[in-house]
A and B are shown apart, each in its own frame.
Chain A
Amino acid sequence: MCLGIPGRIVEVASSLSDQLETATVAFGGLKRPICVALVPDLRPGDYVLVHAGIAIEKIDEKQAAEMLAYLQAISDGELSELTQGEMSP
């Protein structure tokens, strides 16, 4: 039930003041309207994590890239070493 799916903002809809803000979000090739009332200041191209029809957070692209770069760069020796630096980049 806590399944969350990353999706890309295609377009933020201009919503009426008494309605919840929505955006068109692409999940691979599938596009769906998603409520973005809980994640402010989204722009097309941003990625959000979607759960039960609402965006619950924006994905931090910089954090994601840094962690992946760190994992790609870490040597097998460092992976099996207990005394060296921490996992966080």
Chain B
Amino acid sequence: MKHLDEYRDARLAKRLLSGIAKIVRSPHTVMEVCGGQTHTLVRSGILDQLPENLKVVHGPGCPVCVTPMEEIDEALELAARPEVRFCSFGDMLRVPGSRTDLSTIRSQGGDVRIVYSPLDALEMARRDRDRQVVFFAVGFETTAPATALAVWQAKREGLTNFSLLVSHVLVPPALERIAGNPNSKVQGFLAAGHVCTVVGFEDYETLASHYRIPIVVTGFEPVDLLQGLWMLARQLEQGRYELENQYARVVRRNGNMRARDLLAEVYEVCDRPWRGLGILPRSGLRLTAAYREFDARSKFGITGSVSAEPTECRSGDVLQGLLSPIDCPSFGLACTPDTPLGAPMVSSEGACAAYFHHRRQRRELAVV
């Protein structure tokens, strides 16, 4: 497929790898932010082929992983209500709440549906006016325009049986948390290309200069990631800390203005708890007053529990790149995809799942 196959070219990947190996002279630790990128790095074998003095740690960019347990519990409370049809991306179904998960509620007769797009949930609300359709709006800036569009259109059509359980999160506050953490070893970021597709990278320019840390906006295919790492390695070796854009075929400096305008109409920024990281100021989205009637929390009087997270799960450290999944004492023992202690082991973007499925042994480069 055009715009995919070109970036899975094994010859180009090997040349970039060899360039990186020659450039990197002193040891560096860098972080890829997005869970999609984590999986490409692990699955393609890139992670095992990088020089030893370029260490790549994995970031918080897995929305399923950072959704706090109290919000999973809110989803479970809604999904169990008889009048509700609860729609979610498939990734959320097996994420453990404090007592159960969405998949179990479904097997017990709850009306839980997996959808590919929030617009599919909107269509269900149009067709079945007797059901209260609730969409679980998780995800970063990449996903928020799709949920915003669904609720914007629901308001335009006057639908009264559609609402959102909003749990969106914003990337820059998490990067600030990591960049400002004295225990963090991260010296450079590969920023998530699809988040920046929507919101642009002005905030990241500020971050790069404030924390004196190089950032490269990077795509998702093996050649993209290797080029991004190559650019980051050059900056680190040259002592630069700039914002560079590897993914210029998609990402513009200001992002997608239509999407940003829509986000500003539908959502406002709020403080938000992250699983394992605590409350990060101005790191989440909630519906604006004009869309309050589409807020499932107030519509159904969901109160939310305050539940303790299981202490054995070290996802907070994993999500900040402080602990490699395989160094977690529970990895592959008490915690497996069948018996997860935390979301990073079940999400398709979770670092623990990536290591469990692809990295129990060293891999050769397999980009295609």
Chain A residues within CB distance 8 Å of chain B: 1-6, 8, 18-20, 27-28, 35, 37-40, 47, 49, 51-54, 56-57, 59-61, 63-64, 67-68, 71-72, 76, 79-80, 82, 86-88
A53 to chain B: which residues have CB within 8 Å? 116-120, 146
B251 — which chain A residues lie within 8 A by C-beta?
Answer: 57
Whether B231 lies near A35 (C-beta < 8 A) is: no
Q: Which bracket fits the contact residues of B?
A: 35 or more
Q: Which residue of the partner chain B has the closest CB to A76? A: B15
With A1-B140, A6-B4 given, name 13 new contacts (CB 8 A): A1-B62, A1-B348, A1-B349, A2-B63, A4-B220, A4-B250, A49-B194, A53-B116, A53-B120, A57-B252, A59-B3, A63-B248, A87-B230
Separation of A55 and B244 alpha carbons in the complex (Å): 24
Cα separation A72 to B11 with both chains bound (whole Å): 10
B118 and A52 within 8 A (CB)? yes
B250 touches A57 (CB 8 A): yes
A52 / chain B contacts, CB cutoff of 8 Å = 89, 116-118, 139, 143, 146
Contact status of A2 and B194, CB under 8 A, knowing A35-B119, A72-B12, A87-B244: yes
Binds A, one of B73-81, B149-157, B320-328, B351-359: B149-157
Of B62, B63, B244, B250, which one neighbours A60 at CB under 8 angstroms? B250
Q: Which residues of chain B from 224 to 265 have any CB-CB distance to chain A below 8 Å in the complex?
A: 227, 230-231, 234, 237-238, 244-246, 248-252, 256, 258-259, 262
Instruction: Say yes or no: A40 contacts B3, CB within 8 Å.
Output: no
A residues near B227, Cβ cutoff 8 Å:
71, 87
Q: Which residues of B contact A61 (CB under 8 A)?
A: 249
Other-chain contact of A49, B62, B195, B197 (Cβ < 8 Å): B197
B344 at the interface (CB under 8 A from A): no
Task: List 10 contacting pairs A-B, 8 Å CB cutoff, sorted by A.
Answer: A3-B220, A4-B194, A6-B2, A8-B2, A35-B117, A53-B117, A56-B197, A56-B259, A59-B3, A86-B244
